Amino acid sequence: MRIRISHLTSYRYETPAAGVIQMLRLTPRNHDGQYVAHWRIDVSTDCRLDQHEDAFGNITHAFTAEGPFGELTVAVEGEVETRDTQGVVRGAVERFPPSLYLRETPLTSPDANIAALRIRFGTQKGRAMKKRGMFALTAVAALGVLAMPPRAARRRAAAC
């Protein structure tokens, strides 16, 4: 399926801005289920758009613009070709191991029921047994989020 994307961000300044510095994260990456056929970013003021990759492998664009100006717009448009991979993303840039996202923090420590489930599925402190694979580790992580008490869920959302 080919998807056409059009996005516009407008900034209006009560007092004209003397200048701005922006970091944009508006560009998708290719992977096995997605091909970016065309992508364009336009900024309403004269500037140079520099492309970079952040620490997570996301495509970013940075620019500085000299004012004064009362309005600034960033327009993005493009076409992305997608194919059904049944919810499995392969071939994406992933700089960090999945275990990084499964580590315990004060806001994500499991209660007794989740800890028992983790032991039942063969994980110990976030490390999956090789014979059970990533599925068990992902299932335990998903259950940990779903089983989080409402107060902890609110604290976690506030921390993000």
What lies within 8 Å, CB to CB, of 154 at 6+ separation is none
17 vs 67: CA distance, rounded Å:
6
Per-10-residue mean pLDDT of the chain, 160 residues long, equals: 97 96 96 96 95 93 95 97 90 84 80 80 52 48 49 48
What lies within 8 Å, CB to CB, of 151 at 6+ separation is none
Output the pLDDT for position 107. 83
Output the pLDDT for position 153. 46
Token reading at 140: 């335990």
Classify domain 2-82 at the CATH class level: mainly beta
Output the pLDDT for position 116. 81
Domain with CATH 2.60.40 in the chain: 2-82
End-to-end CA distance of the chain: give it in Å, rounded.
Answer: 33
- Classified as helix, coil or strand, 94 is coil
Output the pLDDT for position 156. 47
36 vs 3: CA distance, rounded Å:
10
15 vs 110: CA distance, rounded Å:
49
Shortest CA distance to 17 belongs to which of 75, 65, 49, 74? 65
Output the pLDDT for position 126. 45
Q: Are 110 and 152 in contact (CB under 8 A)?
A: no
Output the pLDDT for position 98. 77
27 vs 32: CA distance, rounded Å:
16
Output the pLDDT for position 141. 52
Output the pLDDT for position 151. 53
